Structure 1
Amino acid sequence: MTSPDAALLVDGLASRPGHEWWRSAVIYQIYPRSFADADGDGVGDLRGVETHLDDLLELGVDAIWLSPFMTSPQKDAGYDVADYCDVDPLFGTLADFDELLAQAHARGIRVIVDLVPNHSSDQHAWFQAALAAGPGSAERARYMFRDGKGEHGEIAPNNWESVFGGPAWTRVVEADGTPGQWYLHLFDASQPDFDWSNPEVWAEFRRVLRFWLDRGVDGFRVDVAHGLVKADGLPDHLPDPEGGSMGGDDVDVPYWGQAGVHDVYRDWHKVLAEYDGDRALCAEAWLPTVKETAQWVRPDEMHQAFNFAYLETPWDEAALQSVIDESLREYAAVDAPSTWVLSNHDVVRHASRLALTAENPQGYGVGPRSEGQPVPELGLRRARAATALMLALPGSSYLYQGEELGLPEVIDLPDDARQDPTWFRTHGEKYGRDGCRVPLPWAASAPAYGFNDTGAAWLPQPAEWARFARDVERDDPASTLSMYRDALRARRAHRLGLGALEWLPAQAEVLAFRNGDVTVLTNFGAEPVAIPAGSDVLLSSEPLAGSAVPQDVTVWLIARA
């Protein structure tokens, strides 16, 4: 099966300025280890992704983003990279990647790969050489090695804490067996931070970019894009204990959002510009405001930045209108599209998050002993309405695998099954992200719900997964999958991604706007809202109450011919 738009999308030719594919694309995140497992070992792989490309084409996405599949000891699910220019055997081979890329392009689906430039694995050849070479060496200068404080260097260089919990510094044992220098790791101890003041690091990542661009990838999602550069002198800093783990709630953090990081992306922008086809960079940048995030997508830097302010906005009409207004204003000011996102591999799935009954900062996760357990039916209802609202907005939207099935967060994972470093480094205080990473259900009656044919799964799938299986939802017109499919089809037909938003007058607890010829109405209130006369329903996130929109429902309307 191929898309009729395949040649238009991936023929390598740049599109008209202002109409580049990434400005309006719907991009589907694939977390490879949990998507589909072709070899039956319990971990998803690249051939598993390839077998389901037609399902993604049927869904209607424009591009896929592959979370890391590069060589890694998998201490942090592949975000600890040991070789940036090869495929981990867990996921397949470079030949498998090339075939997946070719098959995606044949269907008109672009491919974005994850790149992790803030840190490597401690198994990376560079870090192993740094350990062997010793203090003051050129090898150590590629990473953030520092002498400790105290009479014998026994105190860490500063008080920074790891995102995953615990100290952000680990002391090494030198070749002669004595305690030595400390190295910085903003994440797990197995993920040493690069020193981006070193030109060798810049040159190495230019090489990595070109390796994948030469193979034909359409862009990169950049992990921890607001990191990389650390403030001079590495001053002490302790994060807000009530804030999210990636710094989006904090200001003046000496390791997030430093001005020098923009020079890195200006350099990368030039590398991508050497290639035809509007190759794109997307920033994972957790910053306090939309205005700050928009600075990552100025014309000579990155092309997209995840809109985490939107993701973190509560289910409230005034709050959503405010963040939508701010996003459209601030991104337009730098000639970039706003992106919209509700779920990913680092946050509680929005089918659960939108019905939590207690605060839950990013990175904490939800487990059986968490306060404020979600209300499942309410969560799914709100998730469908939120998605219908999001997909009607101008700009680019990101979907996370499984949300099109209405998958909730998996809460009741056994403690001994959890694998997120956050769980271990906080000694079980924070559940972390395993609950949004459980392998997908494809077939209700198959082993592992069709994830593979052996029944093995690296995280246990709950019994309720059967009712969310794709084969159950595929032909059910009322299913979440059908709603997503219908929304993406209508979004493309009405060119909503390249449209413009106009707010419409509405009663309290209602959001109403027009994008092109489509009117969108979301009811947050308890009282049903009448559909305007002369309108036909193009899409509804739930059945209507006669000619009225019930609570927590979004509708798309067009004027009756």
Structure 2
Amino acid sequence: MTQHLAAPTDHSSAGNLTGWWRDAVIYQVYPRSFADSNGDGMGDLEGVRSRLPYLRDLGVDAVWLSPFYASPQADAGYDVADYRAIDPMFGTLLDADAMIRDAHDLGLRIIVDVVPNHSSDQYEWFKRAIAEGPASPLRGRYHFREGKGESGELPPNDWESIFGGPAWTRVADGEWYLHLFAPEQPDLNWENPAVADEFRSILRFWLDMGVDGFRIDVAHGLVKAEGLPDLGGSDQLKLLGNDVMPFFDQDGVHEIYRSWRKILDEYPGERIAVAEAWTPTVERTANYVRPDELHQAFNFQYLGTPWDAEKLRECIDTSLAAMKPVGAPATWVLSNHDVTRHATRFANPPGGTQIRTAGDRELGLRRARAATMLMLALPGSAYVYQGEELGLPDVTDLPDEVRQDPSFFRAQGQDGFRDGCRVPIPWTTSGSSYGFGAGGSWLPQPATWSGLSVEAQTGDPDSTLELYRSALAVRRQQPGLGAGESVEWHDAPEGVLVFAREGFVCTVNTTGAGVRLPTPGRTLLASAEVTVEGDEFVLPADSTVWWAV
């Protein structure tokens, strides 16, 4: 395989290569659920490659792929057994090479996941650490400890796994190892120089393959507080994202990312890194994107904001203010592979990012379309999760016997219903899997998804797919959209947001009734039908309208 350094032709609204990520729209592909090329019911890299023209035509700038590495799949590939190999279910390194090349030929960039907080328990290091016993230097690359109690029968501390239960598992020789997630995902010890060396090598391997960046899984978790102190809390999971934890968002992570930034800067084409960092505040998130660290960080505070004008404005202002001192772009996101799709979240009363009920489908879709247009009008970069451009809801009624989310099989922890947002997407109106592949799909698709397919929505001016295509095209054409640091808020009735950017106004109604407002200019795009009556117009319930001034 010929290794290559390549950067696609730039087609961002900024019009030049510098800082392409500052206004990029990045599309997340969940490989097992995007497109299946060989009919085994599981999506693969060749399937992704075959659908790249669709993504180009949608109007995105880059594609981020969730893990496709060799893995026992204890956590859908986030338990990596070999960071330099492709899992056979997804293809080969040659398939990855071809996908990267095709993407670049189409003007798309490729971002891949890297999972540095933990490895698989089938990773060679961990297998040797277990086999060689307590004296093995390999154990120093993980967090092995003696237990508490008279004979070490109790875990070393009181930390809980994010997936539920203790964060420690005892091995046959009596020592315990730390795993903040599943027992099959032992946490790596970043105090050990060999760990840092290995990941610098892994980054270079994929950069040499031509990838344009990395999304860093659990970027906030690599460094643990010295001495691994007890938390002392009985409900740790409710504290996550609200308080500084001894295993998350420790200041030591930033030294790691400064060293990674130096590697990224060695390569042409402006390679980037994006932090999945769950932090207590947006200000803490901003630490990850200081000028000598990472380029972007997901704005999970925005993702968790309900459909409420006052709360949205507060989150937008806080996010922009936090990013300004570090010179980083704000990064907006509404859905991903770990949370309920926003078309379903907004169909229900506010209740966090994990919703188990279908709610009011019509209401949810109406709000989701409006929320997307609001997000794409904000300064900075935006992420789109596969299928949201089709208006897909979460599948809330999957039978228990088909579920594969590891936290579903544990007594506590994450909601366990993430499979609902991971159901393979529909491409055609017919077939055993609506065009996903010739052999069905690894999770069953609802019969109603025929009408939500790419084929059904293409060419329908009222469809969600065409709304996304139009919104991304307008965003590219309007000089006032994309990169920026601020918005100019205008006075508006309760429940309504009105803000201006250069030559552009965005009006958003989060209420359940139409609102009459002064007409700001010429209509560019609307998420619902708008009636303009001279100097005034009616902004429909749960809608967003873009205007050229």
**TM-score, normalising length: structure 1:** 0.92
1:509, distance to aligned residue in structure 2 (A): 1.4
Partner residue in 2 for 1:514: 500
**Partners of 1:240 and 1:315 in 2: how far apart?**
31
**Partners of 2:360 and 2:461 in 1: how far apart?**
24
**Partners of 1:162 and 1:156 in 2: how far apart?**
12
Partner residue in 2 for 1:540: 526
**Partners of 1:471 and 1:240 in 2: how far apart?**
50
Are the structure 2 counterparts of residues 240 and 403 from structure 1 closer, same or farther at C-alpha, using a change threshold of 3 Å?
farther
Partner residue of 1:349 out of 313, 322, 341: 341
Partner residue in 1 for 2:281: 289
% identical equivalent positions: 56
Query: 2:268 is aligned with what amino acid?
Result: D
Query: 2:443 is aligned with what amino acid?
Result: L
**Partners of 1:134 and 1:322 in 2: how far apart?**
53
Partner residue in 1 for 2:308: 316
Task: Give the conservation status (yes or no) of the 8 Å contact 1:26–1:62.
Answer: yes
1:356, distance to aligned residue in structure 2 (A): 1.9
Equivalent residues, number: 535
Deviations along 1:105-150, whole A, 9 cap, x unmatched? 0011000000000000000001001001111321110001101111
Mapping of 1:361-510 within 5 angstroms?
362=353, 365-367=354-356, 373-426=358-411, 430-454=415-439, 456-495=440-479, 496-499=481-484, 500-510=486-496
**Partners of 1:236 and 1:411 in 2: how far apart?**
37
**Partners of 1:355 and 1:390 in 2: how far apart?**
18
Partner residue of 2:192 out of 189, 198, 218: 198
**Partners of 2:264 and 2:140 in 1: how far apart?**
27
Deviations along 1:478-537, whole A, 9 cap, x unmatched? 000000000000001013112442112212211001121111000123442335346221
Aligned residue for 1:193, secondary structure, equals coil
Query: 1:375 is aligned with what amino acid?
Result: D
Partner residue in 2 for 1:273: 265
**Partners of 2:194 and 2:414 in 1: how far apart?**
39
**Partners of 1:321 and 1:208 in 2: how far apart?**
40
Task: Give the conservation status (yes or no) of the 8 Å contact 1:15–1:277.
Answer: no
Partner residue in 2 for 1:177: none
Aligned residue for 1:170, secondary structure, equals strand
1:288, distance to aligned residue in structure 2 (A): 1.1
Partner residue in 1 for 2:175: 181
Deviations along 1:148-180, whole A, 9 cap, x unmatched? 111111100011111011111000113xxxxx1
Deviations along 1:192-250, whole A, 9 cap, x unmatched? 000000000000000000000001100000000000111111111266849668x212x
Aligned residue for 2:475, secondary structure, equals helix
Aligned residue for 2:201, secondary structure, equals helix
**Partners of 2:351 and 2:321 in 1: how far apart?**
29
Query: 2:462 is aligned with what amino acid?
Result: A
Deviations along 1:407-459, whole A, 9 cap, x unmatched? 001000000111101100127993331100000000011220100022x2111
**TM-score, normalising length: structure 2:** 0.94
Query: 1:283 is aligned with what amino acid?
Result: A
Partner residue in 1 for 2:4: none
Query: 1:448 is aligned with what amino acid?
Result: S
Deviations along 1:18-71, whole A, 9 cap, x unmatched? x41111100000000000000111110000001111110110000000000011
Query: 2:469 is aligned with what amino acid?
Result: R
Partner residue in 1 for 2:42: 43
Partner residue in 2 for 1:89: 88
Deviations along 1:290-334, whole A, 9 cap, x unmatched? 001001100111110000000001111111111111111110110
My pick for the range that moved more, 550-559 or 335-344, is 550-559
Cα root mean square deviation, aligned: 1.9
Q: Does 1:307 align with 2:291?
A: no
Q: Structure 2: where are the runs of 5+ without partners?
A: 1-6
Aligned residue for 1:505, secondary structure, equals coil
My pick for the range that moved more, 443-452 or 397-406, is 443-452
Aligned residue for 2:269, secondary structure, equals coil
Task: Give the conservation status (yes or no) of the 8 Å contact 1:528–1:545.
Answer: no
Query: 1:343 is aligned with what amino acid?
Result: S
Partner residue of 1:529 out of 515, 518, 533: 515
Task: Give the conservation status (yes or no) of the 8 Å contact 2:10–2:16.
Answer: no
Partner residue in 1 for 2:166: 167
Partner residue in 1 for 2:216: 222
Partner residue in 2 for 1:7: 9
**Partners of 1:173 and 1:243 in 2: how far apart?**
29
1:9, distance to aligned residue in structure 2 (A): 5.4
Aligned residue for 1:7, secondary structure, equals coil
Q: Does 1:248 align with 2:241?
A: yes
Are the structure 2 counterparts of residues 461 and 230 from structure 1 closer, same or farther at C-alpha, using a change threshold of 3 Å?
same
**Partners of 1:210 and 1:426 in 2: how far apart?**
40
Aligned residue for 2:112, secondary structure, equals strand
Query: 1:69 is aligned with what amino acid?
Result: F
Partner residue of 1:553 out of 538, 543, 546: 543
Task: Give the conservation status (yes or no) of the 8 Å contact 1:43–1:457.
Answer: yes
**Partners of 2:510 and 2:165 in 1: how far apart?**
41
1:465, distance to aligned residue in structure 2 (A): 1.1
Q: Does 1:237 align with 2:231?
A: yes
Aligned residue for 1:27, secondary structure, equals strand
**Partners of 1:423 and 1:40 in 2: how far apart?**
27
Aligned residue for 1:447, secondary structure, equals coil
1:355, distance to aligned residue in structure 2 (A): 2.3
**Partners of 1:430 and 1:239 in 2: how far apart?**
20
Aligned residue for 1:65, secondary structure, equals strand
**Partners of 1:347 and 1:147 in 2: how far apart?**
36
Query: 1:395 is aligned with what amino acid?
Result: G
**Partners of 2:324 and 2:429 in 1: how far apart?**
45
Partner residue of 2:317 out of 325, 343, 347: 325
Partner residue in 2 for 1:105: 104
Task: Give the conservation status (yes or no) of the 8 Å contact 2:244–2:280.
Answer: no
**Partners of 2:69 and 2:500 in 1: how far apart?**
43
Query: 1:502 is aligned with what amino acid?
Result: E
Are the structure 2 counterparts of residues 116 and 475 from structure 1 closer, same or farther at C-alpha, using a change threshold of 3 Å?
same
Are the structure 2 counterparts of residues 276 and 239 from structure 1 closer, same or farther at C-alpha, using a change threshold of 3 Å?
farther
Task: Give the conservation status (yes or no) of the 8 Å contact 1:520–1:555.
Answer: yes
**Partners of 1:381 and 1:339 in 2: how far apart?**
23
Task: Give the conservation status (yes or no) of the 8 Å contact 2:511–2:541.
Answer: yes
**Partners of 1:152 and 1:321 in 2: how far apart?**
55
Q: Structure 1: where are the runs of 5+ without partners?
A: 175-179
